[in-house]
Amino acid sequence: MSRFVDRVTIHVSAGNGGHGCSSVHREKFKPLGGPDGGNGGDGGNVQLVVDPQVHTLLDFHFHPHARAGNGTPGHGDNRDGAMGEDLVLKVPDGTVVLDADGTILADLVGAGTVFDAAEGGRGGLGNAKLASKARKAPGFALLGEEGQERDLVLELKSVADVGLVGFPSAGKSSLVSVLSAAKPKIADYPFTTLAPNLGVVQSAGDVFTIADVPGLIPGASTGRGLGLDFLRHLERCAVLAHVVDCATLESDRDPVSDIEALEAELAAYQPALDADHGLGDLADRPRIIILNKIDVPEGAELADIVEPDLAKHGWPIYRISAVSREGLRELTFALAKMVSEYRTAHPKAQARRTVIRPRAVDETGFTVTPDPNEPGGFIVRGTRPERWIAQTTFDNDEAVGYLADRLNRLGVEDALVKLGAKPGAPVTIGAVTFDWEPMTPMGDDVPITGRGTDIRLDRTDRMGADERKEQRRLRRAERHGDLE
């Protein structure tokens, strides 16, 4: 049994960047030929692409997790790691992408439109790229960044030319079945249709799509019945057609009151994408009234009575029977003409041009604020400082010293001094908290010691293990001397 899914939540994870390689070139008679560690490959991106052959979000309902490929680590001999493979997810035309807070991120209209759902992490630099005049053979490399992860909500808003609106059992599904090749479920009880039905109609060389929207009753715009779930499928329709049941058995209903009730619901429902799809408010769309079930004598009689009252709206009125097919030919020609006129005034949306945005290299902005949870502490926020923290191997002293130089050149040291930071103050950047030592010398003039070490990090007032052992030996020797 097929299912129509028009709203799903997916979790997308871009690929992680590969780690850089720390390697030194070695060959016979050349034991130290210089650093030759390659860079890690970038992680793959997760992309959403509009595919005309996809009509539902059903695949995402059963497979809500999507992950792109990871970049591979770099290697020696200046060999860079391979880039992670991008993951392309195909979505229907008319898909709207929202974040977890409900903010609209993209409106995917037009075949081939692409949206980057998650960005892959950058690969870490190898030690060959980190070499400088002062640090000629770095004993470290940068780690790859983690890929972006986030939850996205996908909503499908059908791209149909004609939207059929009406009370349950008004004959919308029957009308779709006789005008097109669609075979929706039809029964003699309300709310038979639980999902929009889409059909393709051909008329004198013109082709247009028609969709019925189920569950519209008074209060639908506020969540009553099924209307709130499916009202969004009307947002892109060029023409709205009121399908009225002229043979209703309910004594408190008549075509005039039905249309007024539905118009009130349409006026109360405000499309969220007016500026994006360019069709304007629902109240401004062309209307047509279809008086259905005139094959029933009571229906034909009621149509004669209410037609003068409905004519006051100024909308075209057509009397049809989906069962006997009376009036369908005239209705089809009228709908084709209205759709053609609207297409002329509103050209069809084309695939949006792909925009390539190079990664910024001058992201120097950062902020330093007092830490509310740590007295005397500070929090540094910014794209570059947080990325540098994530790329650093903290069990390598040379890598930590390189990080300190980068933060100093960025201006973090000066910002902490201006805010009155005291020596030893806890400073948090990203997920790492460290004690700030303002007297630590910085810059390329600092003498570089062995690979993987940094002399600046050895300067501490704390007693080391060797010093403790030496003092212990002296105490023992002194104790033995006193005994003698």
Can you give the pLDDT at residue 349? Answer: 56
Of 45, 13, 11, 10, nearest in space to 116 by CA:
45
How many CB atoms neighbour CB 192 within 10 A? Answer: 15
Which amino acid is residue 244, in one-letter code? V
> Where do the H-state alpha helices sit in 161-317?
172-179, 227-230, 255-268, 274-277, 297-310
pLDDT number for residue 391: 92
Q: For each of the chain's 484 residues, which pLDDT tens digit applies?
A: 344 566 789 999 999 999 999 998 888 777 777 899 999 999 999 999 998 888 778 889 889 999 999 999 999 999 999 999 999 999 988 788 988 888 888 888 888 889 999 999 999 999 999 988 878 888 899 999 999 999 999 987 766 788 888 877 777 778 888 887 656 555 444 444 445 677 778 776 778 888 787 756 554 444 444 444 556 667 778 888 888 888 776 656 677 877 887 887 777 776 544 444 445 567 778 889 888 888 888 888 888 888 888 888 888 988 888 888 888 888 888 888 888 888 787 766 555 555 555 656 555 678 999 988 888 899 999 888 999 999 999 888 888 888 888 888 888 888 888 988 888 889 999 888 888 877 555 554 555 555 666 656 655 554 555 666 676 677 677 766 644 4
Helices (H), 94-220: 172-179
| Dist. CA 374–CA 352, nearest whole Å | 48
User: Burial level of 49, CB count in 10 A (0-12/13-18/19+)?
Assistant: middle
The phi, psi pair for 428, rounded to 5°, reads -110, 125
Beta-carbon count within 10 A of 96 CB: 23
User: CA angle 133-135-136, nearest 5°?
Assistant: 75
Q: Which two tokens stand for residue 248?
A: 């209703």
CB of 216 closer than 8 Å to CB of 210: no
Which residue's structure tokens are 């925009």? 355
Q: Which two tokens stand for residue 76?
A: 């020696």
Which residue's structure tokens are 């929090």? 379
Three-state SS for 75?
Answer: strand
| Token reading at 89 | 């997810």
Q: Is 32 helix (H, G, I), strand (E, B) or coil?
A: coil
What ranges in 140-296 are assigned the alpha helix state H?
A: 172-179, 227-230, 255-268, 274-277
pLDDT score for 219:
47
- Cβ-in-10-Å burial (0-12, 13-18, 19+) of 166 comes to buried
pLDDT for the residue 278: 46
Identify any residues that bridge with 434 across adjacent strands, giving them in sequence order: 427
- Tally helices (H) and strands (E) across the chain: 11, 18
Nearest to 387 by CA among 369, 360, 414, 413: 360
Closest to 435 (Cα-Cα) out of 426, 443, 444: 426
Residue 356 carries which DSSP code?
A: -
Helical axes 328-345 vs 172-179, angle rounded to 10° = 90
| Angstrom distance (rounded) from CA 34 to CA 14 | 34
What is the pLDDT, as a whole number, of residue 2? 43
Residue 381's DSSP bridge partners are 367
Distance in angstroms (rounded) separating the CA atoms of residues 141 and 276? 46
**Strand extents, DSSP E, 281-352:** 287-292, 317-319
The residue among 48, 51, 36, 52 whose CA lies nearest residue 8 is 48
What pLDDT is stored for residue 118 in this prediction? 94
Please, are residues 258 and 245 in contact by the beta-carbon 8 Å criterion? yes
Q: How far apart are the first and last CA of the chain?
A: 99
> For residue 448, which phi and psi values (nearest 5 degrees)?
-95, 130
SS3 at position 408: helix
